[in-house]
Amino acid sequence: MTVIAVVSAGLSQPSSTRLLADRLAEAAGRHLAGPAENTEIRVVELRGLAVDIANNLVTGFPSPALKEALETVERADGLIAVTPIFTASYSGLFKSFFDVLDNTALQGTPVLIAATGGTARHSLALEHALRPMFTYLRAVVVPTAVYAASEDWGATSGDGLASRVDRAAGELAALLSRTPPKRPAEEPLIPFEQQLAALRPFTTG
C-alpha cells in the first residue's frame, strides 16, 4: 500500500488549489503500478487548521486535529503540496504548516510541488520558494513543478496543464516505486555509554 498525503493551502470554497491537488493525486494514482486500491490518498486541507497552526506557533504543541494532520504527512510515502501564490511566494498558511512540522518528517520523501495563481507571471515562485523549502527539509522534489494560472483551466490539451499534471505525477509515481515504504517512526534510543563515548573523539587533548 502506497500512501500519498496531499496538502492543500487553498482558502476559497471551492478552491482551484484543491482542484489542482485532486487532479495531481488522481494522476499519481493512475501512474502507480498495480491495482488502484493499492494507493491511498489522504488529503489535508489547511484552511480548517488555520487557527490550530497559529496556536501551535504560539504554544509549541499541536492541537489533536493538527497533530493528526501532521502525522498524516509524516507517515505518508509521498507528498503532493499545493499552495496559492500570495505576494510572490507560498501563502503564509502553507509555510506555517511546514514550520510546525518536524524538520526531519520529510527526509527522503518524494514530493510533488504545485501552485495556483491569477496569472502565469508568478510560476517561478515554485522554483524560488517551494523547491528550496523542501530541499531544506531534505525531501526529494520531482523535477516538474506544476503551476496553474486561471487561464490554464480553459486551455486546450496538448502542452497545457493536463500534460504537466501527467508528467509531474508520472515522476512522482516513478520515484515512489523506487522508494521503500515508510516504517512507523520510532525515536532512536542512543544508549548512554554511546552518548558519553561520542564526546571523547573530539577531545583536543
Partner 1 sequence: MQFGIFTVGDVTTDPTNGTTPTEAERIKAMVTIALKAEEVGLDVFAMGEHHNPPFVPSSPTTMLGYVAAKTDRLILSTSTTLITTNDPVKIAEDYAMLQHLADGRVDLMMGRGNTGPVYPWFGQDIRNGIALAIENYALVHRLWREDVVDWEGNFRTPLQGFTSTPRPLDGVPPFVWHGSIRSPEIAEQAAYYGDGFFANNIFWPKEHFARLIELYRTRFAYYGHGTPDQAIVGLGGQVFMRKNSQDAVREFRPYFDKAPVYGNGPSLEDFTEQTPLTVGSPQQVIDRTLTFRESFGDYQRQLFLMDHAGLPLKTVLEQLDILGEEVVPVLRKEFAARRKPGVAEAPTHAARVAARDAALVAG
Q: Name which of 33 and 197 has its Cβ closer to partner 1.
A: 197
**Closest alpha carbon to 168 in 21, 2, 7:** 21
Write out the residues near partner 1 by the rule CB under 8 A.
54-55, 58-61, 63-64, 187, 189-192, 195-196, 198-199, 202-205
How far is residue 141's CA from residue 25's CA, in Å, rounded to a whole number? 15
CB of 41 to partner 1, least distance (A): 27
CB of 71 to partner 1, least distance (A): 12
CB of 65 to partner 1, least distance (A): 11
Residue in this structure with the C-alpha cell 505518508, named with its chain if needed: 76
Q: Name which of 36 and 196 has its Cβ closer to partner 1.
A: 196
Q: Is omega for the bond preceding 143 within 30 degrees of 0, making it cis?
A: no
Q: Name which of 28 and 100 has its Cβ closer to partner 1.
A: 100
Angle, helix 50-59 to helix 92-100, in steps of 10 degrees = 50
CB of 10 to partner 1, least distance (A): 25
How far is residue 8's CA from residue 12's CA, in Å, rounded to a whole number? 11
